[in-house]
Amino acid sequence: MKLFTLTANGDTEVGDTTGAGLHCHAAGTWGSGTLTLKISPDAGTTKLALRDSDGDVAWTTDEMVNFEVPAGYKLYLSLSGSSGADLDVYVGSTDSKLSGIAFA
């Protein structure tokens, strides 16, 4: 598990996915912001919002989400619309025996 502290809008690289399940827990001061997970198939040139059956994987309050991304993608945390945010975001594997990500 790794901690990322987000204080400004923009994309923060998490690392390269390995195909195992992941979880992301975000808590702190949101400053009216939205946190979205993005993936890139081409080392960051193209970034796509991670989606599930309800739409983009995004949230605006303290929460934890579980998700899976195939191996070979770069994962990003994307904060937008915030003013004065101070978020602690933890990203880790949902399986203690597997590493779901090679952190940047």
Where do the domains of the chain lie? 2-95
Q: Parallel, antiparallel, or unpaired for β 86-93 and 48-49?
A: unpaired
Please count the other Cβ atoms lying within 10 Å of the Cβ belonging to residue 2: 12
Looking at domain 2-95, its CATH class is mainly beta
pLDDT digits (tens, 9 = 90+) for 87-97: 999 998 887 65
3-state secondary structure 19-61: CCEEEEEEEEECCCCEEEEEEECCCCCCCEECEECCEECEECC
Question: pTM of the predicted model, to two decimals?
Answer: 0.91
Q: What pLDDT, on the 0 to 100 scale, is given for residue 69?
A: 86
Of 64 and 53, more confident: 64
Q: What pLDDT, on the 0 to 100 scale, is given for residue 89?
A: 97
Q: What is the mean pLDDT of the chain?
A: 91
